[in-house]
Amino acid sequence: MSTFVKTDEESGFAALVGIDWGDKQHAWSMRVTGSTKCERGTIDHSPEGIDAWVLTLRSRFDEQLIAMAVEQSRGPLVFLLAKYPNLRIYPIHPRSSAQFRKALHPSGAKDDPADADILRELLEHHREHFRPLSPDTVETRGLQNLVEARRKLVDERTAHSNQLTAQLKLYFPQMLDWFDDVASPLVGAMLERWPTLQALRKARREGLRSFLAKQNCRGRERIEERIEQIRKAIPATNDQAILVTAVTMTKVLVKQIAVLREGITALERQIAKTSEAHPDFPLFDSFPGAGPVLAPRLLAAFGSQRDRFASAADLQQFSGIAPVTERSGKSEWVHFRWACPTFLRQTFHEWAGHSIDSCDWARAYYQQQRARNNGHHAAVRALAFKWMRIAFRCWKDQVPYDDALYVDSLRRRGSPLVKLLDSNNQSLRPVS
């Protein structure tokens, strides 16, 4: 993954290029600096095609810098172009180019060469609003890819678990009552061996005891209780038209969940190895509620480039945690920010939620927000907004977080949060 850095480079480009990405072929539009002529063409989407095109540009412009606008911040085209040192890649948000196209072509006309022209014109006339990609360190980019890949597999496992739940509701709903997590190895192993209640009820008691013990289901009373529940259970249906399909789907989903579970575990091992070797990891590991999952995600979110964000507000706005204010006439309203990197926003939101149980002042701040009639997620976002200012300063100064030091600063400033914090601590003291 590449990261954004601000630049004051406003000149020095030999040419400005807009590239409209395509699956098989890319349309490009180029204007050479000092010329009013616009050149157009296409490139095959292949390493060889891109390389031949870039070599032509390099021989023509003698290694001078070339600015390129693309509707991607990552992906095949960006990765192919990023290896050439004379190219400066400016990612353009698809919504920005779409709105610019609509302003120029109200009819709704759309064409690949014209879209390449639009990207070039955005770069030519509004470059100050965009920032070029600048690669972070290999270690940081590797971690960024790992944590995003893990999240994708977790989301896939959740989707398959929901499908498995739907199938079990059709013919074997008791499994959902007996076990809390249908994605667990225990449930998977049981469904592979006994995919229906009818088959499970035929199992011998001793065989069930041995199976549950091997699956780390400890406690004799708990095992006996489950066996008794199995003996008393009644099949939801005996209709073979339902059972044949449902059992087949259940077996497939169980195998898919097992593969995803193994993949997630492998990624978590790699994430732990990569993050612990990163020089900034102790800083992010010091935050309450971060833990082995969110500390690497926070490290990936901030990156290693200290000049990436000029202020905490830049990060809050870019991540989508900062709300959006709209004004029109005498009306003014604040709402949730939609256009932002979803995974980045999730990272800060989830960290703030976990910190409520790990940090006294964070819990007090959350309670304060709820007392103002804010919903749960609004309160967590407000807490994330506050945490990000703290984390930003720690990141800039390269100093781990110290909870006692921060609470002392709250007291020195006379923060109203201190009163609620002291009240919470007082209520937790044992009565003598």
Per-residue pLDDT tens over the stretch 171-216: 999 999 999 899 999 999 999 999 999 999 999 999 998 898 888 8
**Phi and psi at residue 244, in whole multiples of 5°?**
-60, -50
The whole-number pLDDT of residue 296 equals: 97
The whole-number pLDDT of residue 144 equals: 94
> What CATH number has the domain spanning 143-273?
1.10.287.4070
The whole-number pLDDT of residue 431 equals: 46
Least confident of 19-23, 63-67, 107-111: 107-111
Q: What mean pLDDT value characterizes the chain?
A: 88
Local confidence band at 420 (pLDDT 50, 70, 90 cut-offs): confident
Dump the DSSP string for 195-249: -SHHHHHTS-HHHHHHHHHHTT---HHHHHHHHHHHHH---S---HHHHHHHHHH
Determine the 3-state secondary structure of 28 from DSSP: strand
The DSSP 8-state label assigned to residue 86 in this structure reads T
Least confident of 151-160, 206-215, 350-359: 206-215
- Tell me the CATH class for 2-135: alpha beta
- Mean per-residue pLDDT, 125-148: 89
Tokens matching residue 302:
């901030």
Residue % of the chain over a pLDDT of 90: 63
The whole-number pLDDT of residue 215 equals: 84
The whole-number pLDDT of residue 308 equals: 85
CB-based contact 128:55 (threshold 8 Å):
no
CA dist 190 → 157, 204, 212, 290, 382 (Å): 18, 14, 9, 34, 44
Question: Is the pLDDT at 111 greater than 90, yes or no?
Answer: no
Local confidence band at 338 (pLDDT 50, 70, 90 cut-offs): low
Least confident of 64-78, 161-175, 354-368: 64-78
For the chain, give every domain's residue range: 2-135, 143-273, 282-428
Q: What is the pLDDT of residues 279-327, one digit of tens each?
A: 999 999 999 999 999 999 999 999 999 988 889 998 998 888 887 666 6
The whole-number pLDDT of residue 6 equals: 38
CA dist 295 → 29, 90, 353 (Å): 43, 29, 14
The whole-number pLDDT of residue 1 equals: 42
The whole-number pLDDT of residue 239 equals: 95
Instruction: Classify each residue of 180-217 as buried b or exposed e, where b means 16 or more C-beta atoms within 10 Å of its C-beta.
Output: eebbeebbbbbbeebbbbeebeeeeeeebbebbeeeee
Residue % of the chain over a pLDDT of 70: 90
Q: What is the pLDDT of residues 262-281, one digit of tens each?
A: 999 999 999 999 999 999 99
Residue listed under structure tokens 């600096």:
33
Q: What is the pLDDT of residues 206-246, one digit of tens each?
A: 999 889 888 887 778 888 888 999 999 999 999 999 999 99
Pairwise CA distance, residues 120 & 17, whole Å: 5
The whole-number pLDDT of residue 104 equals: 74
- Mean per-residue pLDDT, 9-27: 83
The whole-number pLDDT of residue 220 equals: 84
**Phi and psi at residue 126, in whole multiples of 5°?**
-135, 35
Which amino acid appears at position 231 of this protein? R
Answer with the residue of higher pLDDT: 34 or 350. Answer: 350
- Residue 130's Cβ-count burial label (10 Å; 0-12, 13-18, 19+) is middle
The whole-number pLDDT of residue 4 equals: 40
